[in-house]
Amino acid sequence: MCGIVGYIGKNPALPILVSALKRLEYRGYDSFGFFALDDSSHFLLKKVGKISEWEKRLLEINFGGNIGIAHTRWATTGKVDERNAHPHYDCKEEIFLVHNGIIENYQQLREELVREGHQFKSDTDTEIFCHLIEKYFQGNLEEAVREALEKVQGNYAIATISKRDPNKIVLARLGAPLLIGVSDGEYFIASDPAAMVSYTRRVITLDDNEIAVITPQKHFILKEKPIENIDWEIKEAQKKGFSHFMLKEIFEEPEVIREAVRGRMDIEKGLAVLGGLDQASERLDKINNIVITGCGTARYAGMVGEYMFEEYAEIPTKVEVASEFRYRKPLLNERTVLLAISQSGETADTLEAIREAKRKGALALGLVNRVGSSIARETDAGVYNRAGLEVGVAATKSFVSQLTILALLTVSLGRKKDMSLVIGKRILEELNRLPSLASRVLEQADYIKRLAQKYSKHKNFIYLGRKYNYPIALEGALKLKEIAWKVHAEGICGGEIKHGPIALVDESFPVICIVPSDSVYEKMRNAIEEVRSRNAKILAIATEGNQEIKELVDDIIYIPKTLEMLTPILSVIPLHLFAAYLGLELGLDIDKPRNLAKSVTVE
Ligand code: F6R
């Protein structure tokens, strides 16, 4: 949801900003802009479209300024055009600023500033920062920023440069991520470490309400902070021979399962060893219920977790849409666990749900991929995914990793209750086998590609699943409509199709049925019979060896047999591939589907 980068140091800023911003394009790609400053002049460029389309031309620009900021936009306030692209600036064109976030009282502030004579050039909420800073500026940029921030309500990560107090960048954050990369005689600024891993691994994460001042020689934060090391490989931000990040990340699904369980299983004792939960251990012993929250794909992972926790750990569990959570009256207490699931760790709706749950005394746990992210820091304890950088805007490998860790959590919580050693051991043994089973599913990639080509002429799809695979039907449909957005898809619980949606079904309406050989197999087979008798084209995901179902459907993708609770980890893989290949078949950019952003830091 918008990406910010900045640079100050000894080298020309512009090429560094271009390469850094390109790595943040997944956060928004409606439009972009650059500002750089040297002793006597400035460079400003704002364009609609993707940076990659402009990269070559941008790199040919010869501008030597050693300080600059840049921004890639995912429009919230103000339509997509050059005027609304960042950086924005004040009336005198002296203060330049980029912003990620949303300002809630911007209308009122704008009216006040207009009454005072300020002239706005865009329709964005961001521009009010420039005029407020202009209003309070008396020679010191950070002081003006501090005063301006007192007026705004909402969330922000900002980076600003003033020609009247040059040679410094001032940063501030509240509810949106912002990092400072430290190197020898130079600093990098970014919303996400992905932008700076090729320059430095030493980072400082700004906290909410902090203001930082950076000059080429030093940085100053109101509260001095330690420098941490980030352990990503640069290659994680590369495609490793795949045409798209999304495909690369789907092919990493076996590996993320392996990483998620590595060192976290004592199979002999049937125990999951989740060190991140140690500090919450006493409270976890006494919990009565669990509320899982998250958005989009992360919430669907939570829905699988709900089945797992109730069936195997016997803890009452429910899943809440994070964006609705605090508008209801959630009934929580100190014996409730709120488990927040988030790949980015920055999703504003999920963060607000955590804050609400903590206010009510619940124990907040995080299941987060991004180390040091806001959710990781605001929860009381948690487990990291270790899925590595996910660049494709659609969540794929992070989902598989979330499901794997939910299974580990089931063992961890279940063994504190009545789960037997035998069951604990069985789940862990099977988790150990899963990476190789997942690789077997991926061996069918070419076949799945051909199926995607075959089905690509259809405009509507229904996905059906039951029990553990109901959330997978939702995830399959979400992935298809995101990635192959020219088609519509709906995920429905297998038992619900006859209660209305079946009216849609005819020969032009393919139905994708997730029908592993599990405890609801017969029920799913009934649903297949129901849509088959309405002439639907049926593509089934079934368990290897099931010949019966082959007779009932048009096409079939087999997945290996595993424990029922773990089938979603395998059944989702062909659905991720199917969406990716269908999107490619329709000529779409599967890494950057239209209208989306990877990290949604506005409510
Ligand atoms: C779907 C997708 C989104 C995210 C959702 C939550 O492919 O990527 O639905 O799952 O925005 O994001 P995180 O997990 O970062 O909180």
* pLDDT per residue as tens digits for the range 379-426: 999 999 999 889 888 999 999 999 999 999 999 999 999 999 999 999
Measured from the Cα of 375, ligand 1's closest atom is: 16
Q: What is the pLDDT of residue 226?
A: 62
First-residue to last-residue Cα distance in the chain: 11
Q: Any residues with Cβ below 6 Å from ligand 1, and which?
A: 295-298, 342-344, 347, 350, 394-395, 478, 482, 599-600
pLDDT band with cut points at 50, 70 and 90 for residue 40: confident
Neighbours of 329 (CB within 10 A): 7
- Counted residue by residue, the chain has a size of 603
Closest CA to 68 of 12, 146, 19, 131: 12
> Ligand 1, residues 344, 367, 474: which to mutate, most atoms within 8 A of Cβ?
344
Angle at alpha carbon of residue 251, lines to 247 and 255, rounded to 5°: 145
Report the nearest atom of ligand 1 relative to the CA of 598.
8
Mean pLDDT of the chain: 93
CA of 72 to the centre of ligand 1 (A): 19
Atom of ligand 1 nearest to the CA of 350: 16
Residue 495: how many other CB atoms lie within 10 Å: 16
If you measure from the C-alpha of residue 225 to the centroid of ligand 1, how many angstroms do you get, rounded to a whole number?
Answer: 30
Name the residue with the closest Cα to ligand 1, atom 9: 296
Distance separating alpha carbons of residues 583 and 244, to the nearest angstrom: 12
Cis peptide before 471 (omega within 30 of 0): no
Six token digits for residue 436: 């190789």
**% pLDDT > 90, the chain:** 77
Q: Residue whose CA is closest, atom 10 of ligand 1?
A: 297
Ligand 1, from 74, 295, 367, 375: best to mutate by most atoms within 8 Å of Cβ? 295
CA of 177 to the centre of ligand 1 (A): 16
Query: Is residue 223 over pLDDT 60?
Result: no
Please give the sequence-ordered ranges of beta strands (E in DSSP) within 315-441, or none if there are none. 317-321, 336-342, 363-368, 381-384
pLDDT over 60 (residue 559):
yes
Best CA proximity match to 192, nearest among 377, 380, 316, 374: 374
Asked if residues 458 and 510 have their Cβ atoms less than 8 Å apart, the reply is: yes
pLDDT of residue 225 exceeding 80, the answer is no
Q: Which helix (H) or strand (E) holds 183?
A: strand 179-183
Ligand 1 center to 299 CA (angstroms): 8
For ligand 1, what atom is nearest to the CA of residue 370? 15
Q: How far is the CA of 242 from the centre of ligand 1 (A)?
A: 22
Banded pLDDT at 145 (limits 50, 70, 90): very high
More confident residue, 203 or 222: 203
The catalytic residues are: 2, 598
- Work out the pLDDT band at 28, boundaries 50, 70, 90: confident
Report whether pLDDT(193) > 90: no
- DSSP for residue 216: S
CA atoms within 13 Å, Cβ hemisphere of 261: 27
Residue 47 identity: K
Distance 301 CA to ligand 1 centre (A): 10
Give the pLDDT confidence score for residue 197 in this predicted structure.
Answer: 87
Buried/exposed 49-87: b ≥16 CB within 10 Å, e otherwise: ebbeebeeebeeeebebbbbbbbbbbbbbbeeeeebbbb
Closest residue by CA, ligand 1 atom 7: 394
Which pLDDT value is given to residue 298? 98
User: Position of tokens 């980015």?
Assistant: 344
Q: Which of 303, 346, 347 to mutate to test the pocket of ligand 1 (most atoms within 8 A of CB)?
A: 347
What is the pLDDT at residue 597?
67
